[in-house]
Every structure is written in structure tokens, then in C-alpha cells.
Structure 1
């Protein structure tokens, strides 16, 4: 009789891909709500690189299956950080060199980490005159693609595979929570808010989707400004944003996010970066102001590790006047996104695509500066 040896044993999900997904949820209450209230946080920071491991693997796999990305050819993309980690992972899994275009706002530790994972980091040095650092990065990607025959760009802002990649996340949430009344998501490329809400709205037809953006972002119709917060917001108009899914949007300022991140760290141990703080602030308010039975799910896209030089660094926060900021108990309210330029936590229940003809006629379109 053959006896099983240690070398014969292969644990389930022992591949690199198997490290991604099935992330836990955590109940969050005080200090954001009273102990009898709260929301459920989906901790995507438990993925090796964060939430964007999911679309990075999926976009690369689908491009390979369609023949758009040939074996061994380069993957070139613009990133503010988290997708870069995911693409570095996908490059290892599928055998592709990865070149990432970043800008000086990327944390030095993240640049070093991306390089350690085998990615080549290409940094732009000047912002685009109207599209800022984001457009400058995209232009550099176009240059690199022209110089690299056979190279492929995921184009995370417009790639429908970015949205489709989040179906497993949605199904995990449904299995973990059983029912969801409100889903709270940060919005950058628009991928996870669109992908998760598409699935959950079919399972729970009455579910509301609440978007969380940063001040200075164009996504929901505000004018583009220089942005300190990374991972959410945009100075362009990503076509993956499912505007029709949102019941409301909240804009959050950097100091307010720092407060929430640090409160999470001190009270729940599980915390993260700019997006996590902004989402927690909004989800806490929703938990305080909706009926006690309302089940709220909030997606925390990453963990705190890459933010030790920013969100969790007193010197950085002091230099940017982010310390000693306590958010208001309630958001300011505007009737439409172009009513005024927002500078602190603000809520709007009129959501539309700034590039739609109706929005342009109404004067909602922001100027991408």
C-alpha cells in the first residue's frame, strides 16, 4: 500500500493565483457608530497586493485567451500603485515582463516594492497641462507601446474585463453577508464599483450603491485639481464608471480620510490607505443615519503598508496640514455636482455622467485641469 509522503501533498489553492480572493469581512462600529450599529468591511488588503490583484490577473488572462497578448510579450500600463502590484503578480503567473508608468507622487516604498517584484518602473517628470499626472502617464504609455512591438496595455480605465473581474468579489460578499442593503465603494477607474454592484443588484434589487470620490476629481462632474489622495479619483473620465448604478456620491478631503484611517487603526487594527479612510467615513455616517436593520457593506481596497510614508507619517501629514482634522458629523449637501467646487466631505444625490449630452447641457461637465 502506497503511503502519502510530505512531498506528495499539495495544499488546495497553493498557486500564486490561489492567494487572491476569499478575503474576510469585519464588523466596524465605534468610533464611527454606536456599538449597536455599524457596517461590514470587506478587507481586500488581505490579497497579496490589494483589490487590484483581481482585475490584473483577469485582464491578462482574457487578453491571452483572445490572442491580444502573446506569450512573453510586455505588459505596459499606467498606475498610481495598487494595479501595479497586481500586474507584477500577473507577470509572474503568466510569464510577461511588466513595465509600469508612475509619477513623482507614488510613494518611494511602492517604487521599491514594484521593482523588487520584477516590474520596470518608468516615471514621468511633468504633469500634462490639462490632464495632470494621470494624462501624462497615459501619454508615456502610448510612447512605450509604439516602441515595443507586441506589447499590450490593459487600459484599466476603459477595459470591460476590469469590471468583469469583480464578479467573484460580489459573490463572496453575498455568501458572507446573506443580504446587502447599501454598498459603499471608492471610485477611481470605476471597475470594482461597477463589477460588484452589477452582480449584487441582481441578487438584491433594492440595493443602493454609494460612491466615494476625492475632492479635486472630475469623475462625478467636479473640476479637476491637484490631488493628494491616490487610489481614488481621476483627472480624466473613465468609461468603466457605471453612473446609472449610483444613488449618491460623496467627496472626501485628505485630512478627513487620514482621521478615519487612524481611527480604524486604533480601534479595529484593520485599516488602509486614502480610499479605505474615505469609505469608512461615509459608511459610518450611513450606518448612523439609516434604520438599525440596514445592512451596509463597504469595500476596503487595500491595507496600510504602502501609506506609512503618507497617511501614517506625522511629518508628512503636518506638512500638508492633515493632522488635527476632525470631520463634521454630517456631510455638506449639494443639489448637483456643478453647484460649487467642494473642498470638504460633501454629498450629492444627483449622479450623472459628466460626458453625457444631458449633463453637458445642464452644465455638469467639469473641466479637466
Structure 2
């Protein structure tokens, strides 16, 4: 007969207090101290796995951290005046963070986005008090991402006191993730491999740079999407949001990254859905892509290697895309079992990748073309 499990009763009020999170006075206090979860079989092979940092436990996702930090730093420097409007281009997650920062510090927020933003995300931003400005025409060469940035420029010209965080090039975006790295050290003690998605470059550079200080031999694996220009591939139509770029963000720390994996949308969908079914912990495009790579590394690296994958958000905003059968059938995302191993290329310019592919030769595309001073190179065909 099975005996009921007995709860452990604290022996003193001090222990009760130690095990209880303190009451919070502002929503910003909900950000940080996110949990880590072991992801093993059946998602991985028997006896292997990795740790997932669940940033979806922040109110809006991982970019709550950078939104609060960038706004606080700009206020301290006098760049953002009391009550001034915040205007930024985003595909969604940073918008939620800026809405939180606006509520915390008393700033109206305008989020510039495009028709690819999910209705659920638009509704949440509006509910949280942000003004959603939707561009309706892609830039002829820079696509939706450049169209959004042009609209931001127009809004800043109309509102001279307004401030744009410029998440792609703002070093405060990188600095915001030192606490995330410190949490990982406190939670796991030792980290051998870090797997991170790369978009604006903020959380990949910020987390990796701090962890490399603790662990000099840390392996950093960047995860991008097919069709993204960040690591030297030509721009192409990109369905996935939250990772990848059609410009070259200056926050990307190429010197910290040991290898890059490009993942296609069907492969990310497969991983995200299997995580949901098998582990009740999942997210959207970025989570699926990062998890697929971490899963392979857990099989490929020595068993004692401690792997951490950063999951930037949770599944809620993707119920109409990644987790919607009709949407996935329309975009031919179902029934694509990822290969056991990634394809390999020796240099990012060797060929255009359309499936999961790995490269250990990392270069800054602007440095190799002698255009390091250009803040954003727009390439024909870029969409988001």
C-alpha cells in the first residue's frame, strides 16, 4: 500500500521566512529569479539532457530585464525626461517589457510593429496601456524591420521629447543581462556550455560575457534562424520572430560565440511541440530552435558537460502560430522530423542554408566587408 507523502514542516519562523518570497511593491519586482528546469528524456536520449532557464516566468518574458534596465539607465543619464514618451520597434516581447517599464516609471509607450505580430500580443500590449502603431507596407529592400525603424524615426521627429531605446545597438541592452548570468551561477554552480538565441544580441552577449568571466573555457553556441543576416547569410523571408535579423545589430558579440546553428521554422515547431508534450515547459520559435540545438549538444558532448539553454519566453503568444495546426499546415510546418545531426558548412558564405546547419567559423559580416561603421546594412529580401 502506498504511503501518502508527508510535507516537511519548518522548525522555526525564520525558516518559513527564508523559504518565502518577499511581498512586492511594484510589478517590476516580479522580474528575475526565474527557475531552471532539467530537460532530459524523452526529449533527449537516455541519460543525457540540459538545463533550461525559463525566462517565460518573467511577466512578459526575457526582455522585461532589458526594458527596465534601458529605461532606468536613460532616466539616470537625463536622456529620458520624466513623463516623456518611449517609442521602439519590436516584434512583440520587448513591447511587453517596455509597457512594464512605462508603468513602473511613468512613461507612455508607443510600440511600432507590423502585421506579423500575433493578435494576442497586440491585445496584451493595448491592455497594458501601450499604443500599438502598425506599419502596413514593407520597406522595398529592408522589409518590415526597416519599415518599423523608419516609422520610429518619424514618430521621434513628431515628438521631440520622446526617446527610443534602440535595442539593436544600445549597450544597456547587453548590460541588463548580468543578473541572469549571476542567477545561473548561483543555481547551477558550474556551466560548461551556453546555448542562446541571437536577435538584437542583448541577452546572448550580456549573459555570455559575464559567464565567461566565471568560466573561461565556456562554450557559447549561438542559435539563429535561416534567412537571417546576422552571421553572414543572405537575407530571405523569415517566418520566425524573436530571433534573427535583417540588419546587423552592433550588440552581437561575435568574439564570444564559438559556433552558430541556423534552424528552420519547421524544425523549431517540432522541438517546441515535443517540449510541450513531454516536459510541460516550452515556448515559441526561439525556444524551439534553442532546444533543438541543446538536445543535439547533450548527445554530442561528454556526459559530464553541463549545458544551459536560455528559453526566452513561454508558449502563450504562440497558440495561434506554433501550436495551431491550421496555421502550421498553411505554412507547411508539420511533419518535418529534424535530422539527427545538423548539416555543416566551413564558412557562412559557402552556401545558403535552408535547414538546421552548423558553422564554427564566426566572423562579423561588417568587419569582413570593411563596413564596421555602418550601424545597419539593409539587404535585399529582408523581411523581419
Partner of 1:151: 162
Deviation string for 1:14-64 (max 9, x for gaps)?
Answer: 421110000000000123322311000000000000000000000000000
Deviation string for 1:194-228 (max 9, x for gaps)?
Answer: 00001000000000100000000000000111110
What is the aligned-residue RMSD (CA, Å)? 1.5
Q: Map 1:106-255 to 2 at 5 A.
A: 106-255=117-266
Query: 1:367: how far off?
Result: 3.9
Aligned equivalent of 2:85, options 64, 68, 74: 74
Q: Is the 8 A contact 1:248 1:351 kept in 2?
A: yes
Matched, 1:330 2:341: yes
Matched, 1:98 2:109: yes
Matched, 1:15 2:26: yes
Partner of 1:347: 358
SS in 2 for 1:156: coil
CA distance in 1, matches of 2:181, 2:380: 32
Aligned equivalent of 2:329, options 318, 322, 331: 318
CA distance in 2, matches of 1:104, 1:301: 22
Change (3 A) 1:212 1:366: farther
Deviation string for 1:331-366 (max 9, x for gaps)?
Answer: 000000011000000000001100004678xxxx99
Change (3 A) 1:359 1:291: farther
Q: Is the 8 A contact 1:163 1:192 kept in 2?
A: yes
Q: Is the 8 A contact 2:246 2:378 kept in 1?
A: no
Partner of 1:40: 51
Q: Is the 8 A contact 1:220 1:354 kept in 2?
A: yes
CA distance in 2, matches of 1:314, 1:357: 42
Q: Is the 8 A contact 1:181 1:296 kept in 2?
A: yes
Unpaired segments ≥5 residues, structure 1:
1-9
Q: Is the 8 A contact 1:20 1:54 kept in 2?
A: yes
Change (3 A) 1:287 1:104: same
Q: Map 1:270-349 to 2 at 5 A.
A: 270-349=281-360
Q: Is the 8 A contact 1:236 1:368 kept in 2?
A: no
Q: Alignment length, in residue pairs?
A: 357
SS in 2 for 1:339: coil
Partner of 1:262: 273
CA distance in 1, matches of 2:48, 2:370: 37
SS in 2 for 1:72: coil
TM-score (norm 1): 0.95
CA distance in 2, matches of 1:366, 1:36: 45
Q: Is the 8 A contact 2:178 2:206 kept in 1?
A: yes
SS in 1 for 2:305: coil
Change (3 A) 1:268 1:14: farther
TM-score (norm 2): 0.91
Partner of 1:4: none
Deviation string for 1:267-315 (max 9, x for gaps)?
Answer: 1101000000000000000000000000000000000000000000000
Q: Is the 8 A contact 2:231 2:362 kept in 1?
A: yes
Query: 1:13: how far off?
Result: 3.5
CA distance in 2, matches of 1:142, 1:255: 35
CA distance in 1, matches of 2:141, 2:43: 38
SS in 2 for 1:179: coil
CA distance in 2, matches of 1:359, 1:138: 24
